[in-house]
Amino acid sequence: MEYNFLKVEHNDGITVMKVSAPKSLNALNSTILEEIDDFILTLDETTRVLIITGDGEKSFVAGADISEMAHLDEPQGFEFGRLGAQVFRAIETLPIPVIAAVNGFALGGGCELAMSCDIRIASSKAKFGQPEVGLGIIPGFSGTYRLPKLVGQGYAKEMIYTGKIIRADEALRIGLVNAVYEPEELMDKAMEMAAMMLKNAPVAISLAKQSINEGYDLDADGAIGLENKLFGKCFATQDQKEGMDAFLNKRKAAFKGE
């Protein structure tokens, strides 16, 4: 599929996907969501870390496209929300690490896109918010589900009920992002983090992600049991044998993702 609103770069196991719709500050419409969906579905094993960011200096993703939403009826609104939720869930469940490099406005659907990623780092100029109630709607791309998990119900309800926009330093304080960097450093820091991940066993990272994501909603016994199962599964991989042999023989491991 040829993309009109995505820019994709591949670099030695790291893929960067930029949402690029400068006239609307990268706002998400159905076409962009379908392009992201296709992109996620067609990622192959050469991508071991994915970085998602926005094109330009002002915006990561400024939200969902209000000009498209304004004329939707109830069934159409449901389908639009379902599409966004489906795409973001596909990102969340990718078997590889996904880093959001939030370079500017991450509002509404943009904040929800960032939250579907494993890790969020932000430019000092980034701003976050769920301002949907000011438009007569609620967050529709899983924002009411993911935001409380990241920052707790109190902060999530405050952000959603007031619709207020917060700066990157506040997002860091409440745990919405992992780190804040100057704008000119952001992509370099994202690439540095991705490069650190590339040094480790791909299968182990994938199983760790599965254990964290699936275990989060289980009770303690269920989550620990899942971890035990996936821990055991590591010992059926060549990466485990390579990693431990390299450690014992004081050499650098050469993981193959097997």
Residue 182 designated active-site: no
Beta bridge partners of 179: 121
Among 13, 134, 33, CA closest to 89: 33
The CA-atom distances, in angstroms, between 99 and each of 4, 113, 140, 152, 162 are 22, 11, 22, 21, 28
Chain centre distance of CA 130: 16
Which one of the listed residues 2, 34, 112, 170 is annotated catalytic? Answer: 112
Query: What is the mean predicted confidence (pLDDT) over 172-187?
Result: 98
CA dist., res. 127 & res. 168, Å (int):
6
Residue 45 designated active-site: no
Question: Residues 192-236: pLDDT tens digits?
Answer: 999 999 999 999 999 999 999 999 999 999 999 999 999 999 999
Which one of the listed residues 2, 9, 132, 170 is annotated catalytic? Answer: 132
Q: Which two tokens stand for residue 94?
A: 């990718």
CB 161 within 8 A of CB 138: no
**Full set of structural domains in the chain with CATH:** 6-198 (3.90.226.10), 202-248 (1.10.12.10)
pLDDT > 90? residue 163: yes
**DSSP secondary structure letters along 36-89:** HHHHHHT--TT-SEEEEEESSSSEEE--B-HHHHTT--HHHHHHHHHHHHHHHH
Predicted structure pTM score: 0.96
Among 186, 152, 149, CA closest to 168: 186
What's the whole-number average pLDDT of the chain?
97
CA dist., res. 139 & res. 142, Å (int):
7
Q: Which band of pLDDT confidence, cut at 50, 70 and 90, is reported for residue 84?
A: very high
Helix H segments across 122-165? 143-151, 153-162
Q: Which band of pLDDT confidence, cut at 50, 70 and 90, is reported for residue 140?
A: very high
Q: Which band of pLDDT confidence, cut at 50, 70 and 90, is reported for residue 147?
A: very high
